[in-house]
Structure 1
Amino acid sequence: MLKCFSFKSSTSSPTIQNPSQESTSSISREYHHAVHTTSFSEIRFNVEAQAHHLNPTRERVQQALDHFNPDNLTRLFSAFFDHTETASDLCLHLHRCLLRARALHAPLLDLFQSLDPSHPSQNDCVRALDLFQPFHTLPNPIPDSHTFSAIRADLSVLKTTLDHRAARSLRSLRLSRRLFRGSAICLVVVAVAVIAATVAATVHAVVAIAGSGAGFALPVCASEKRELARLRQLDAAAKCAYVLSNDLGTIDALVSRLRAAVEGDKVLVGLGLERGNERYLVEEVIKQLWKSHQGFLRQVEDLEEHIFLCFYNINKARLLVHQVICTDSTS
């Protein structure tokens, strides 16, 4: 006989709570636990070894969605996997931009390592001017800010839709429970009335009522099981969409800061090229570039770290939602 699901909190089944009502701190803490317990070097090694491949792949995702068709949830989860794939592609593009930024600055960094930036010589100034021209001519490899604005908006809309659908599942579960309880009370009343009417037919009446009650309870419990599965799926996707949107927002801010730093270096280099015949000014440009390059390297490393962590989080999110879908679809 099918066991009815309890609405009480337990370790094996979710509480009947609206996922949108959970605190953002608990969402981030739960989702990022794996990231915080994994060394960045390990994450970076795994991502580079996989060449930023999505996990699960598009083919595995499609196979799971082909066997998954509760109402219109397939469209929502298909959108989730599409958005995470887009985010991964943007992160990959951004990482390539970082590689170009390193290459752009590499000649200047080599120059700084071969001189005393606080006291550059005349020869140092001549060498610097030769390097300033290509640096100033080449475009800024760091993309415009708000690189992830569109995909963040998509994830935000998707999370809202998932939350609304989860609220519907929540209402359906509560209604199902009330109907089940009301049906049980009606059965008891009918049984008492039949017993009071005729003692002779008691055994047959009770058997008939019990059989009728069992036939009604089974579909109700099956419905509850399906709604609980949907709630788990919706909750997992909503949490992941929320956290990934925050990750991309952080990266967007770092991109904006780094692009501004490169633009600032270009302004300095342009000033040096315009006044190349004034040694004192060129010396000052070299000194300021040396100082700014220390910050540039830190910003590049910080942004690169967040990109690799975002790659890790994207795959973690996809695996989590894929696993919940496959588990509940086969249970």
Structure 2
Amino acid sequence: MLKCISFKSSTSSSTIPNPSQEGTPSISREYNLAVHTTSYTEIRSNVEAQLHHLNPNRDRVQDALTLIPTRLTRLISTFFDHTETASDLCLHLHQCLLRARDLHAPLLDFFQTLNPTDPTQNDCVRALRLFHPFHAFQNPIPDSLTFSAIRSDLSALKTQLDRRVAKSLSRLRIVRRAVRGSALCLVAVAIAVVAATVAVTLHAVAALAAAGAVPVCAFEKKELAELRQLDAAAKCAYVLSNDLATIDALASRLRAAVEGDKVLVRLVLERGNERYLVEEVIKQLWKSHKGFLEQVEDLEEHIFLCFYNINKARFLVLQEITSNPA
């Protein structure tokens, strides 16, 4: 679902890869592809079995951070911290979702045996018995403020990472221009030496060129490695921020639905259990319960996919660090 940046470059290339030109995966497209393929069943079962596990875990991350330059440690470490926070929030929301299901379960069971067009007196009595505990419970779905802080943190981190990527690209362009200029100077010197038929000096110029190329190549290799790491973290931060925005919107919608059901129930209880009002509320709740189940399923699917994306993002950044140490 998440894709890592791929760089194709060599010291002889005259162009520098620009990570910002790489397309970021469409969240909705990737989500729909995952949900409507058999692999989603695997994703869901794996996440359900390992809801409390980050992969790679904190120990592996700490080991990997020793492989990167000190100037990058804070940014990359912050990325892993934010993904861990996002995972904790998704876990908390999933637990809230389970409580919402438990809260509605008695009502949903009641609707299975109900004739919604003509509730009986017995149906009204049963409904009232269910309304009291339903009203007593607080809405288990948290408000949108839950995810706003981590989304803001991921957005700010992406901005910082993008700035570092831009600086790295700028350094690479300067070095490559310097290399081209040096190469022209060396060619001119070599031609002059050949013209003077001073073979010894020619060998000296060639040796000088080789000696000068080594640190330049080493610098470019190191800079490209840092560029890959920074860009992978920036892209993953962007994708996760969008994932959390989608989850936040779905959670807000579900919270509003639960709150609407609680308002209807409170209206009945405050009006002294009037038979007509009880019947009307039963009918309204019956109409909305199917939508409630769909919203719960939709949110749960996105939570599972976000867990998957978080671990995938952590793995991709870790892979860039270990396979291309700067």
CA distances 1:265-302 after superposition (whole Å, capped 9, x unpaired): 00100111123442111000000011111111100000
Match of 1:239 among 228, 235, 240: 235
Unaligned runs of 5+ in 1: 9-14
Percent same amino acid at aligned positions? 70
Unaligned runs of 5+ in 2: 1-8
1:235–1:191 Cα change, 3 Å: same
Contact 1:162 1:237 in 2 (8 A): yes
- Computed over aligned residues only, the root mean square deviation of the Cα atoms, in angstroms, reads 2.2
1:6–1:279 Cα change, 3 Å: farther
Return the offset for 1:191: 2.5
Match of 2:323 among 307, 312, 327: 327
Contact 1:144 1:256 in 2 (8 A): yes
Distance 1:137 1:304 in 2: 25
Aligned to 2:302: 306
Are positions 1:296 and 2:302 aligned together? no
Contact 2:51 2:91 in 1 (8 A): no
Distance 1:169 1:178 in 2: 14
Contact 2:27 2:243 in 1 (8 A): no
Aligned to 1:59: 59
Counterpart AA for 1:67: L
Are positions 1:5 and 2:11 aligned together? yes
Distance 1:285 1:178 in 2: 75
* TM-score normalised per structure 1: 0.90
1:91-110 map, 5 Å? 91-110=90-109
1:104–1:271 Cα change, 3 Å: same
1:161–1:31 Cα change, 3 Å: farther
Q: Secondary structure at the match of 2:41?
A: helix
Contact 1:275 1:282 in 2 (8 A): no
Counterpart AA for 1:46: N
Distance 1:127 1:98 in 2: 25
Distance 1:30 1:178 in 2: 40
Return the offset for 1:34: 8.8
Are positions 1:262 and 2:258 aligned together? yes
Aligned to 2:47: 47
CA distances 1:132-178 after superposition (whole Å, capped 9, x unpaired): 11111110000012321111111111111111111111111111111
1:142–1:76 Cα change, 3 Å: same
Return the offset for 1:311: 0.2
CA distances 1:226-274 after superposition (whole Å, capped 9, x unpaired): 1111111111111111110000000000011000000000010011112
Distance 2:33 2:225 in 1: 24
CA distances 1:193-228 after superposition (whole Å, capped 9, x unpaired): 3444x43xx111011111111000111011111111
1:58–1:262 Cα change, 3 Å: same
Q: Secondary structure at the match of 2:146?
A: coil
**Number of positions where the alignment pairs a residue of Structure 1 with one of Structure 2:** 317
Distance 2:298 2:16 in 1: 40
Return the offset for 1:21: 3.9
Contact 1:27 1:239 in 2 (8 A): no
1:178-189 map, 5 Å? 178-189=177-188
